[in-house]
Chains A and B, each alone.
Chain A
Amino acid sequence: MNAKQAIRSVCVAGGGIVGLSAALAFTRALPKAKVTVAALPADPAALADRLPSTLPMVGRFHAAIGLDEMELVRSGAATHRLATRYVNWSAGGETWHHALGGAGADVGGVPFHKAWAKARAAGRAAPYDRHIAAAMLAKADKFVHPDNREDSPLGTYLYALRLDPDLYRARLQQACDAARIERLPTALAGVERRGDGGAAALLLDSGRRIEADLFLDCAGPSAPVRSVLGDDFEDWSAWHPADRFVLGEAAHEGPSPVDVVEARPEGWRWTAPLAARTMSGFAYASSVTGVPGAASLRGAAEPVSIRPGRRRSPWAANVLAIGDAAVAVDPLAGLNLHLAQSAILRALELLPGRDCHPLELAEYHRRTEWETQRARDFIALHYLRSGRTDGPFWAALAGRAVPDMLAVTLEQWERRGRLPFFEEESVDKDGWAAVLLGLGVVPHDVDPVADGIPLGRSAEAIARHAERLAALPARLPAYADYLERMRSAPAQPPRR
């Protein structure tokens, strides 16, 4: 007998994207368990439920919950995401891209970015993102699926999805219904505790009482279930200045694989074109300005509050907080839903028994801490090294210290173009390099290994690479056409 006593029932608090995703994931992992969703009234501050961006891990996540990516694309619930474009997000005001791909191959055994930094310092290389195939596609608002032919520039990137929150939630609901997951639209009246401090049952407004072995709190930053078991919040506001976010829409100019973030004096504006509409938002700091005029977006409601930070122990006894209930960040790097999906996969990988043994929780927390702290650092980097000073939002950032781990990254990068290793990074080294160089954080000295390659030779190789990529977008279809072709093609029989 499996000595681990199986979880017999799971109760999910929260009927948004995060809650429904978790319900599906746990149902597939534990087909014998009863999974119930208490679809509490949506909290507008639960950004992971409301924002469309994901990272490439979304492919693995959809496989785990049994959603077909092609079907999502065909229905208009998903478009492809290849990059974020940063406008005015640097001292010099250049536009740059954080694309989901790497630059060229090593130059004479030296990592490309180091060889580039050396050539750039000598004035002999174009801006960094012209050497990244994915960024060149992004500049032209193009996307095609990566191939795996050796030496093909189209094999150097990954892609993610942008999920239309309304359509995607509807699709998740449908999948939950098909899996016979009970969904109860209701408000929460209380949490009944067990003798050991865990949760025994959720008490609902409807008068129902839902008992479960495991509770997943996917109900947004207030974490109405997890917080009953105590609070242990770690505040990141010193490094994440945006504490208000207005979410609405912008004029739709057709689909694009690129999210756009534009720095404005009072904060920044975010725009994500979906299949048939374009979402937009504005982030600012309430301690610096009131609601900026630039934040008046079509269809926008009141600004929501963001309290940046994380819960140190998202998992307490038999209650696991996921999504904004566990970690809250602004949408700048598109990590909101990604961190929730990653937490769900991690919880499945470490799926404990009914007793939620402290050892298993400790391993969950060890990995979670690494992941969330590096996500924190990645977002903080955008603010604390933007180089921008004009505008009250940016002026207020002057002199702010960076988190310790980020300091190690910056020190090693600025001095020698090296990215130190940390466990459980959400963003790979290509991503860190793209953002650092986009921000204008250029290594002032490169690796001594890079010094061994004659400048002329490496500069030539780098220039040839850029030329080759420059010619690439012209021979690819416009994204709208590419998407349309996928959507109108006859359905493929499901693979396998």
Chain B
Amino acid sequence: MSGERSKTRVVVLGGGTAGWMTAASLVRLLPHAAEVHLVESAEIGIVGVGEATLPHLRTFVETLGLNEAEFMRATHATFKLGIDFRDFGAVGTSYIHPFGSFGVERAGVAFHHYWRRLAETRADEDLFEYSLCNVMAAQSRFAPPSSDTNSMLSTYSYAYQFDATLFAPYLRDYSLARGARRTEGRVVEVEQDPESGDVQALRMESGERIEGDLFVDCSGFISLLLGKTLGEEWEDWSHWLPCDRAVAMPSESPPGPIEPYTRATAMTAGWRWRIPLQHRVGNGYVYSSSHISDDDAAQALVAAVKGKPMADPRLLRFRAGRRRRSWSKNVVAVGLASGFLEPLESTSIYLAQGAITQLVELFPAGGRIEEADRREFNRMVDLEYDRIRDFLILHYHATTRSDSSFWDHVRTMSVPDSLQEKIELWRRSGRVARYSQGLFLEPSWIAVYVGQGILPDGWDERADLPDEAALARSMAALRDRIADAVRQMPNHGDFIQRRNAAIAP
């Protein structure tokens, strides 16, 4: 019976963000069921570009029982209310994709239908003015959301922007203090069971042999166990998401307020991130190597970055896609070893977190792995990847830009049918294909559609019912309420201080 079974020996390969997130979750949630042994090599750097996160990370922080202020100090974190997209739909345009909703539903009809109706005759109607979260972000103010669901202050959420190279060590200390083992060194051989093909052990350069029941592959792009050893097939998505490189370079923080949002600015052959942390700003240019050379990309980044560079540009290579199955035999891939979607919507850490959550739910107690659990794990991973993929493609495809071969390509490429249908459904009458589970829900899709200039041709007819003048008045009142609420909030930087989350100067 359950009380007597032995612990499952879990070997985590890779000491980056995904690896230590996995180890920390297992020692925290399954101390009685899992024995965690993490193998990492100091020679292999961590990618760690994932400096911007999504609100789900808060659940992770809470689940581990971390103190938020301490966690923020340790990782030099700032708060994040959304992403400011510049020049995507057309050069000179911008919008914030906020972690919050738009306006207030009325008579069962979503707010954006009323907005769309008024916008027909009032050209200055701006949907984003009805998002509290957007207005907060634009003014660099921050206050935590309210838990009272009747309050307007409950209509948004927040995430963090942090230094990923500090996050992994922070979780390492956490994990080691709770019983995880760590071995430093290089893996020279992966031993497999000749019959089942299961991975049996990792042989280290030192000669040490590390056995396990379950292997979590957090080895990054190289995908040593799932990809290289088990040969799990790669599903390539680069024809839809052509960016395959990034060049990254931190710079000093400018004086003035710290923005509670990440900025993504479209570039000739991709886009550039700007992530304000407490002690510096992270910058990077994500680009398609078929459309620009590495040198030109690095030059473009250096030219665009304001503030003194704190290091030389560093090159990263990747490709969009994923392994067909993330869990095969006794190997579960978490993070980049399972697949990669570029960081346009800060999904990397989220995807790792999602996989970890499923792994904990479906954990093979007693070391016994069931095919049904693998199938269920892979079903949930599929759901996430496919929906995020479509959402990312939309950012490129919804554009009128024709100023470079890159933008010509993404503007005119054919997109997955599942996305084409979503766009057309929206364009006809402002309907968003609905899912109740999935990362990006209705407000996110609305933000990108409207922000990038895809307006619905029609709207819900019920939005025509209220008298136009009365509707306009009530919408103006909502704008005022939002402006009032934001005016009372502290500046983002001040709030970090007040929360005792600031690093020592």
- B380 x A421 contact (CB < 8 A): yes
The residue on B at minimum CB distance from A425 is B436
Q: Give bound CA distance, A166 to B464, whole Å.
A: 35
Selected contact of A408 from candidates B32, B33, B376, B434, CB within 8 Å: B376
Verify B431–A360 contact, CB threshold 8 A.
yes
Whether A488 sits at the interface, judged by CB under 8 Å, is no
- Interface residue? A106 (CB, 8 A): no
| Cβ A2 vs Cβ B30 within 8 A | no
In the complex the two chains form, what is the Cα distance from A489 to B407 in whole Å?
69
Which residues of the partner chain B approach A349 to less than 8 Å between Cβ atoms? 108
Q: Are A452 and B436 in contact (CB under 8 A)?
A: no
Q: Does B90 contact A (CB under 8 A)?
A: no
Q: Are A423 and B437 CB-contacts (below 8 A) given A64-B108, A353-B429, A449-B30?
A: yes
Return the CB mask of B455-477 against A: 1 if under 8 Å, else 0.
00111111011000000000000
Indicate if A491 sits at the interface (CB-CB under 8 A). Answer: no
Q: Knowing A351-B461, A408-B376 touch, does A449 contact B360 (C-beta < 8 A)?
A: yes
Residue contact A446 to B2, C-beta cutoff 8 Å: yes
Check: A298 CB closer than 8 A to any chain B CB: no
Map CB proximity to B onto A380-409 as digits: 1 under 8 Å, 0 otherwise: 000000000000000000000000000010
Contact of B428 among A118, A359, A455 (CB under 8 A): A359
With an 8 A cutoff between CB atoms, is A418 at the interface? yes
Task: Tell me the bound Cα distance from A349 to B110 in angstroms.
Answer: 9
Chain B residues with CB under 8 Å of A3's CB are: 428, 457-458
| A63 to B457 CA separation, bound complex (whole angstroms) | 29
Which of A2, A6, A363, A412 makes the CB contact (< 8 A) with B372? A412
The smallest beta-carbon distance between A145 and chain B, in angstroms, is: 19
Residues 106-128 of chain B: 1 if any A CB is under 8 Å from the residue's CB, otherwise 0? 00100000000100100000000
* Contacts between the two chains (Cβ within 8 Å), count: 100
Residues of A contacting B117 with CB < 8 Å?
2
A194, CB-defined interface residue at 8 Å: no
Query: Once bound together, how far apart are the Cα atoms of A484 and B424, in whole Å?
Result: 53
B189 contacts chain A at the CB level, 8 A cutoff: no
Q: How many residues of A contact B (CB 8 A)?
A: 44
The contact size tier of chain B is: 35 or more
- Bound-state CA distance A277–B433 (Å) is 44
Q: When chains A and B are docked, how far (Å) is the Cα of A106 from the Cα of B360?
A: 17
The 0/1 profile, CB within 8 Å of A marked 1, for residues 410-445 of chain B is 000000000001001100110101111100000000
Q: Does A348 contact B (CB under 8 A)?
A: yes
Q: Which of A408, A411, A448 has the most chain B CB within a 10 Å cutoff?
A: A448
Residues of A within 8 A of B120 (CB): 1-2
B residues neighboring A (CB under 8 Å): 1-3, 29-34, 108, 117, 120, 360-363, 365, 370, 372, 376, 379-380, 421, 424-425, 428-429, 431, 433-437, 457-462, 464-465
A-B contacts, 25 of them at CB < 8 A, read A2-B120, A2-B464, A3-B457, A3-B458, A4-B458, A30-B461, A63-B108, A121-B1, A348-B108, A348-B462, A352-B429, A359-B428, A362-B421, A362-B425, A363-B425, A363-B434, A408-B376, A411-B372, A416-B362, A420-B379, A424-B436, A447-B363, A449-B360, A451-B33, A452-B32
List 9 A-B pairs, minimum CB-CB distance, nearest first.
Answer: A4-B458, A3-B457, A448-B33, A448-B365, A3-B458, A452-B32, A2-B458, A411-B372, A448-B363
Extra contacts besides A4-B461, A445-B365 (19): CB < 8 Å: A2-B120, A2-B458, A2-B459, A30-B462, A121-B1, A350-B431, A351-B462, A359-B424, A360-B428, A360-B429, A363-B434, A408-B372, A415-B372, A418-B361, A424-B436, A447-B363, A449-B33, A451-B33, A452-B29
